[in-house]
Amino acid sequence: MRHLLSTRDLSRDAAIELLDVAEDMADTQLREVKKLPTLRGKTVVNLFFEDSTRTRISFEAAAKRLSADVINFSAKGSSVSKGESLKDTAQTLQAMGADAVVIRHPASGAPQTLATSGWIDAGILNAGDGTHEHPTQALLDAYTIRKRVHGSASRGKDLDGLRVTLVGDVLHSRVARSNVWLLTTLGATVSLVSPPTLVPVNTTGWPVAIGYDLDEAIEGKPDVIMMLRIQAERMRDAFFPNSREYSKRWGLDDGRLGKLQATTIVMHPGPMNRGLEISAAAADSPQSTVREQVTNGVSVRMAALYLLLSGDREDA
C-alpha cells in the first residue's frame, strides 16, 4: 500500500488483509512488552490542521508501539498561522525526512493533493479531510463489528449479510462516507437515517437506502446502529429547529434503546454529544462499543502504518 486516502478505492481483499493484520497487532498488545521494533528508524509526522483528541493520540500510540519516531504538528502555533501554504509545509517535512504523514485537514482532498503533488515522497494517511473521508475510522468500525459478530474466529471474515444503519448528521460526516463505502465493500447492507436537511445534496451512486424516520429503522431490526455526531462546528445554517427537537426525533434515547434487539450493536465514532444524538444509558450500555472502538483504533492504525511503511517502497 502506498497511501491510504479513502475507503472507496480499497478492494475487499486489501480491506480484509488490513483487518487481519490489525488482529495480529491487537494480539501483540496483550503482551508484557507492547512495543514492536518493526518501524525503528522511520519518522511519522502527525500533521493536524483541525482539532482532534482520539485520532491524533491513537495514531501517536500506534506509531510509538511500532517504534517509529513521531513528530506532532498542529496548525495552531505553527507557521501556518503566519500564512504558510500546504505546499511549503509539505516541502519542509520532506526536507526533514518524514516517511509517513498522517494528515487531518478541513479541506476535502488535501491528503489527495499531498499524495499526488510530488511535493513529498512520504506515504500519506488520511486522518479526516473536510467532509470527504476518514478511512481509519471506518476500518476500526468494521474491525469492531467483525470482532463482535465473529469473536476470536474473525480472521479472514467479511461482513456479508449484516445490516448497518447510520443515523444523524450525514451531510457533514466523513465517518459516514468512509463507512458507506467500506462496509458495502465488505458485504454489509448500509442504510442512512437522517433529517432531510442533513442528507447530502447528491447521493447518486451511493450504495445505500435513505430514510428519515429512526423508529421505522429500529423496527427493521438492524444488526448495527451507528450514531453520528452533530457537527455544530461545521453548521453555518439552521439544519433543525433546536437540539431538543433533534434529540426527540433522531436521538438514540432510552426508549429507543429498549426497542433495539439485544444483539444490536450500538456504535459512535466519538466525541459524543451525550443527551443529543445518544443518551448516556445507550452510550454506556453493554451493547455499546464506544470504548472498544477506541482500543481497536490503535490496532487498526498500527496495521495501516505497518502496511504503508514496511516493504520495498519501489514495489509498492
Sequence ranges of the binding site for carbamoyl phosphate: 54-55, 104, 134, 137, 270-271
8 A C-beta contact, residue 139 and residue 304: yes
User: Would you state the cell numbers that stand for residue 42, as one nine-digit string?
Assistant: 522511520
Q: Say whether the peptide bond before residue 271 is cis (omega within 30 degrees of 0).
A: yes
Give, as ranges, the residues between 115 and 174 that touch another protein (CB under 8 A). 155
Could you say whether residue 190 binds another protein (CB under 8 A)? no
Query: How many residues form the binding site for another protein (CB under 8 A)?
Result: 25
The yes or no reply on residue 20 touching another protein (CB under 8 A) is yes
- The one among 8, 28, 54, 281 contacting another protein by CB under 8 A: 28
Answer yes or no whether residue 13 interacts with another protein by CB under 8 A: no
Among 8, 14, 29, 36, binds another protein (CB under 8 A): 36
Is the Cβ of residue 150 or residue 163 nearer to another protein in the bound state? 150
Q: Which is nearer to another protein, 17 or 292 (CB)?
A: 17
306 binds another protein (CB under 8 A): yes
* Closer residue to another protein (CB): 35 or 249: 35
**Nearest to another protein of 135, 195 (CB atom):** 135
Residue 315 as a binder of another protein (CB under 8 A): the answer is: yes
Binding mask 61-80 for another protein (x = CB under 8 A): -----x--------------
Least separation, in Å, of the C-beta of 191 and another protein?
Answer: 33
Which member of 13, 160, 237, 312 binds another protein (CB under 8 A)?
312
Of the candidate residues 38, 91, 191, 243, the single one contacting another protein (CB under 8 A): 38
Candidates 15, 19, 23, 288; binder of another protein (CB under 8 A) is: 23
**Chain contacts with another protein (rule: CB under 8 A):** 1, 17, 20-21, 23-24, 27-28, 31-33, 35-38, 66, 155, 306-307, 310-313, 315-316
